[in-house]
Amino acid sequence: MATPTLSALPDLSEAYPISEEQRAQYQRDGHIVIRNLASADEVAAYRPHISRVVEEGSRHYKPLHERNTYGKAFLQITNLWKRDENVARFVLARRFAQVAADLMGVDGVRLYHDQALYKEAHGGHTPWHQDQFYWPLDTDNTITLWMPLVDVSVTMGPVTFASGSHTGGFLGHMAISDESQDRYDDFVKERGYPQVNTAMKAGDATFHSGWTLHWAPGNDTDQTREVMTIIYYADGTRILQNPDNENRLTDLRVWHPGVQPGEPAVSDLNPLLYQRTR
C-alpha cells in the first residue's frame, strides 16, 4: 500500500466538540482521555511519515541494554514538524489545537514543540515527573496531547496520571530520573492521589496539564508503543522573568530562539495554531 502524499493526507481541521463536563473534568483532574480524536484512517495515513522521521532521527541510539533509565524509557525525537511537511500537517492540526484551547478555557494556543515517544518492545519505565519543570513559560495554561499511533494495552506502558496533582503547581527542581521516580512515588502515595491509566485505541488522546505528575510503566510486550505528543500553551504567554534552572534556560534557547526573559513567548517555532472566533 502506497504512503499517502501531502495532497492526499486527511485535513484534520474539522472541529471536535468539547462539553462543559469534559472541560470541568480536565480542570479538576489535570488530565482527560478524548476518544477517537483522530479516526483510525487518519492515523493510518500519518503514521508512516511520523515513523520514518523517528527511524531517521533515532539511529544514534545505543542498544537498549546500554542506556540509562531515561534512555530506556523511549526513543524521543522532537520538532518532527520541522523535519517533514507531512508530519507538520499532523502537528499543526487545527482540530487538536482547538481541543487544547477548549479544555484550558483560553481563546488561542501556540505550539511549544512536538515530540515522538516510541517506547520500544520491553523498554523501561518513564519516571514520575512534571513536564513544566523544563519549560520557561510564565503561565499555568500549558497542556500536552499524547496520542498513540497504534492500539496501546495496559501492558505496553500507557501514560499514568496522578489525578489532582496539578493543583499543587510547581513541586520543585526535579528532572526525570531514578530520584524523581522515588520521590514523587512517595509523594503521590502520601497525598492519596488516584493513579489513572487506560488502554487506548490509535487516535484516542490524553491531554494533561504541565503541572500534572505522570509516569509510564515499562513496555512488557513485543510491540513498540508508538506515541506522538504535541505541547501547547495559551496565546499571550510570556517567558519567565527568571528562568530558574538549566533545563528552562536550554529550552528558552531551543524552543524560543531570540526571545528574552519577560518577553512574549513568540518565535518562528511557536506558531498560533488556534484562535477562537469571537
Measured between alpha carbons, how far is 219 from 206 in angstroms, rounded to an integer? 18
Model confidence at 46: pLDDT above 70: yes
Cβ-count burial of 17 within 10 angstroms (0-12 exposed, 13-18 middle, 19+ buried)? exposed
Q: Give 87-116 as a DSSP string.
A: HHHHHT-HHHHHHHHHHHT-SEEEEEEEEE
Grid coordinates belonging to 52: 520514518
pLDDT of residue 277: 77
Distances (CA, A) of 254 to 73, 77, 113, 250: 22, 14, 10, 6
**If you average pLDDT over residues 124-152, what whole number do you get?**
96
Residue 97 near residue 273, CB atoms below 8 Å? yes
Residue 87 near residue 49, CB atoms below 8 Å? yes
Higher pLDDT, 1 or 145: 145
**If you average pLDDT over residues 270-274, what whole number do you get?**
98
Average pLDDT, rounded, for the chain: 93
Model confidence at 7: pLDDT above 60: no
Of 1-5, 45-49, 104-108, 166-170, which range is least confident?
A: 1-5
Sign of CA dihedral 230, 234, 238, 240: negative
Helices (H), 15-39: 20-29
Measured between alpha carbons, how far is 127 from 125 in angstroms, rounded to an integer? 6
Q: Where in the chain are the domains?
A: 16-258
**CATH fold of 16-258, please?**
Jelly Rolls (2.60.120)
Nearest to 263 by CA among 242, 238, 244: 238
Q: How confident is the model at residue 53 (pLDDT cuts 50, 70, 90)?
A: very high
Measured between alpha carbons, how far is 156 from 79 in angstroms, rounded to an integer? 24
Residue 196 near residue 160, CB atoms below 8 Å? yes
Grid coordinates belonging to 30: 489535570
Give me the percent of the chain exceeding a pLDDT of 90. 85
Measured between alpha carbons, how far is 40 from 185 in angstroms, rounded to an integer? 35
Instruction: List pLDDT tens digits, range 67-110.
Output: 566 554 558 899 999 999 999 999 999 999 999 999 999 999 99
Cβ-count burial of 35 within 10 angstroms (0-12 exposed, 13-18 middle, 19+ buried)? exposed
Going through the chain in order, the beta strands assigned E by DSSP cover: 31-34, 75-78, 108-119, 126-129, 142-148, 160-162, 195-196, 205-209, 214-216, 225-234, 272-275
**If you average pLDDT over residues 238-257, what whole number do you get?**
96
Measured between alpha carbons, how far is 171 from 183 in angstroms, rounded to an integer? 11
**If you average pLDDT over residues 110-139, what whole number do you get?**
94
Higher pLDDT, 143 or 1: 143
